[in-house]
Chains A and B, each alone.
Chain A
Amino acid sequence: CTSIVAEDNKGNLFHGRNLDFGLFMGWDVKNKSWIISEKLKPLVVNLDFKRNNQTVFKSTNFAGYVGMLTGIKPHIFTLTMNERFSLDGGYIGILEWILGKRDGMWMSFLTRSVLENAHSYEEAKTRLAQTKLLAPAYFILGGNQTGQGCIITRSRLLSIDMLEIDLKLGRWYVLETNYDHWEEPLFLDDRRTPGMKCMNQTTQKNISLKTMYDVLSTKPVLNKLTTYTTLMQVSEGKLESYIRDCPNPCMPW
C-alpha cells in the first residue's frame, strides 16, 4: 500500500492511497496476476454511512468487510491505514484474545469507531495513537487545517512515532508505504523512493487530486497487488475510488 497526505500552497489538504493486497496468496501464471487481488477487485465499493439522513462518514471497502481501511469524515478528517510487519505481530494479539485477554482492539474496528465517533483531527489522532491494538499498523491521517497531516507508526501497545507535515521544514506531504520511515525499505520493495520522486517532481504548487492520481498511477507505486486507488479532499468532503490494473511489465508488489 501507498498512502499520501499533501498540502498545497493554498492550504488545501489532499489524501490519496493505493490499496495493495493479496501477496503470496496464489499467483495466476497465465494472467500474470495475484489470485486474491483479482477476487477482491469486484468487491470494492464506496459506502456512505448515514444517520438521520446525514452523512456521518464515507469509506471505500471490500463488500462483506465491516472494518475500515480508507475513509473520510467530510470537512473534518481523512484516514487510511497501511499494513505494518513486526515480530510482535497480530498472531500474538490473536493468541491473547483467544486466551481471554481482550483489552486490545481489532485494527479495522478501531478505524471504523474513529470514523464514526471522533469529531476532530486531534481526537482521531489521539485515539489512533493510544488505543491498544492486536496487530501493528500505520495510520495515515489528514485534517482540515494547515499542517494537519501525519503518519502514526503503531506497535500493538505503543505509538512508536508520529511524522507530521511541517511546512517550515519544507515537508508539505507525508508518504507511507509499508516500512518505518526512519528505516530504508526492503530494496526489492522500494515504492517510497519513486513515490517521493514523483511528489517532488509534482511540487507543492501543482499538487491536486489529479496530480496525486498521477503519482499513484506510476509503477511500482502501482503494481500487481493494487486493487483500488482512492482520492479524498476533506474540504470538499469528496471521496473518489477507482479499480486498478497494472499492465505488463509490472512489479508483482
Chain B
Amino acid sequence: QFIPPYTEDCRTEMYPPNGPTFRGAVSWYTVDLDLPPSKRWTALITDKKTDLVNMIQAIKDLAYAFVPSGRLIELVDITLVSVIFPLTFSLNLYYIFLIPFCNLGEVVLFNIFYEVFTV
C-alpha cells in the first residue's frame, strides 16, 4: 500500500533473512561473570567504541540543538553521575568508563535512557 500507514500483505518466506529488510547478522560476545567488572566488557567495548562515541555524539548534537549553551551536556557530564546510580551497576559502568574514550555521565545517561525518554 503506497499511502500511509504503508501497510502491506503479510510477508512470507522472509527467513532465512535476506534482501532489503536485512542489514546484517549480529556478532556474539561472551561476558564472563566470573571476571571483575573491569574485565567483562573490555573486548566488546574495544570493538564498538567508535560506534558508541558516534551514537553519544548524535545525542549531544541533539542536546546542543535544544540548549545551544551546552548547559544540558554539562548537567549530564558533571551532576548526573553523583545523583543517579546504585553502587553495583555504577561499578559496571565505571569500568566501561575507564576505557578512556568517553564521559561517565554520558554512559550513565545512555543506560537510564529508558526512564529519561518517558519524559
Contacts and interface: CB of A to CB of B under 8 A. Distances in A.
A175 interface: no
A90 B112 CA distance: 10
For the complex, would chain A's binding face be called helix, strand, loop or mixed by DSSP majority? mixed
A251 B52 contact: no
B29 A48 contact: yes
B100 interface: no
Given A43-B48, A97-B84, A136 B118 contact: yes
Given A26-B62, A94-B112, A85 B33 contact: no
B111 A108 contact: yes
Given A65-B110, A109-B89, A242 B118 contact: no
A253 B2 CA distance: 15
A191 to B, nearest CB: 9
Interface stretch (A3-11, A72-80, A143-151, A214-222): A214-222
A81 B16 CA distance: 25
A246 B118 contact: no
Contacts, number: 197
B93 interface: yes
A250 B15 contact: no
Given A64-B107, A66-B111, A219 B8 contact: yes
B14 A42 contact: no
A39 B115 contact: no
Contacts of B30: 47-50
A109 B59 CA distance: 22
A183 B25 CA distance: 36
Interface in A213-235: 213-215, 217-220, 222, 228-229
A168 B105 CA distance: 51
A50 B31 contact: yes
A225 B83 CA distance: 31
Contact of B111 (A65, A211, A245): A65
Interface of B: 2, 4-15, 17, 20-34, 41, 44-45, 47-48, 51-52, 54-55, 58-59, 61-62, 83-84, 86, 89, 92-93, 96, 107, 110-112, 114-119
20 contacts: A40-B55, A46-B28, A47-B30, A47-B44, A49-B30, A49-B33, A51-B33, A63-B51, A90-B115, A90-B118, A94-B116, A94-B119, A98-B83, A106-B114, A134-B115, A198-B10, A214-B15, A229-B17, A245-B20, A245-B22
Given A35-B62, A36-B62, 9 more contacts: A41-B23, A50-B31, A50-B34, A64-B111, A90-B114, A90-B118, A106-B89, A194-B7, A251-B4
